[in-house]
Structure 1
Amino acid sequence: MIPSQPPTPAGSASLSVCVTCRQRTHEAPGYIEPGRALLAALAQRLAGGSVTVRGVQCFAVCNRPCTIALQAPGKWSHIIGDLTLAGDVDAIVEAALLYARTPDGIIPWAQTPMAFRRGGVARLPPPPV
């Protein structure tokens, strides 16, 4: 195992949502930016809990909108793409709460929501101490 920060106590996490992701449409101006609506829905659902929600400018995964990241000190980080407001809010909330409860940021595969299984972009280890 690669040395890293010790795991943090389970219980908190940060959920970042790209607000500049664009999806093509057949209507003018030719795209929509669904990240802002996803951010609003997630912020409402997770308000006052163990997961802090914030909007960020770009994860540079522009071909996989909407994209989010789950992070916490001492834990593995996850970048997940191909998420939708219509179909994935419940899965994101579920995964964020599971992630917050883990000591190391690894959600057991059997508990990982399908949206996260299909949309995984990257899993990053915690930075070294």
Structure 2
Amino acid sequence: MTTTITICETCKREGWNAESQSQTDGELLAEAVEAAAQGASDVKTRRHACLMGCNHGCNIAIQAEGKLTYVMGRFEPGSEAAEGIVEYAQKHAASEKGQVPFREWPKAVKGHFVSRIPTLPEPE
């Protein structure tokens, strides 16, 4: 099953300056995640304007049909974070319910979890 990484492209970390920075921190993270996900058949990426986690920028969500959703934030935009996010997304894709054992978490995502959202109940 495919897991989708949704990246907030409007995130601005503390200290972001519109006069000196042509891209938001979210755009930089999105570019890095998209590059890291190239060739990963079990992971898709998409950008979204504002995940409403401004106090936690840069924010992403890891999602798949019928699986737990994870929201993560406080990333430094760059390849190290991006590679960890994609690795976690691949483990999420390979899992039955979206839960990845702590011992398998990439170092780059540890300490970045903001929330876990349960799956929607099956229709009655």
Map 1:100-111 → 2, pairs under 5 A: 100-111=93-104
Q: Unpaired segments of 5 or more residues in structure 2?
A: none
TM-score by length of 1: 0.82
CA contact (8 A) 1:99 1:105 kept: yes
Distance change >3 Å, CA 54–CA 27, structure 1 → 2:
closer
Cα offset, 1:33, TM superposition: 1.5
Q: How many residues align?
A: 119
Rounded Cα–Cα distance in structure 2 between residues aligned with 1:14 and 1:24: 27
Q: Unpaired segments of 5 or more residues in structure 1?
A: 1-10
Equivalence for 1:54: 46
Rounded Cα–Cα distance in structure 1 between residues aligned with 2:13 and 2:3: 27
Letter paired with 2:2? S
Letter paired with 1:39? A
Cα deviation, 1:46-72, whole Å, max 9, x if unaligned, reads 134211100011111101111000000
Equivalence for 2:13: 23
The CA RMSD over aligned residues, in Å, is: 1.9
Runs of 4+ in 1 over 3 A off after TM superposition: 26-32
TM-score by length of 2: 0.85
Cα offset, 1:25, TM superposition: 2.5
* 1:127 matches 2:120: yes
CA contact (8 A) 1:24 1:30 kept: no
Cα offset, 1:26, TM superposition: 7.2
CA contact (8 A) 2:81 2:109 kept: no
Map 1:58-69 → 2, pairs under 5 A: 58-69=50-61
Identical residues among aligned pairs (%): 29
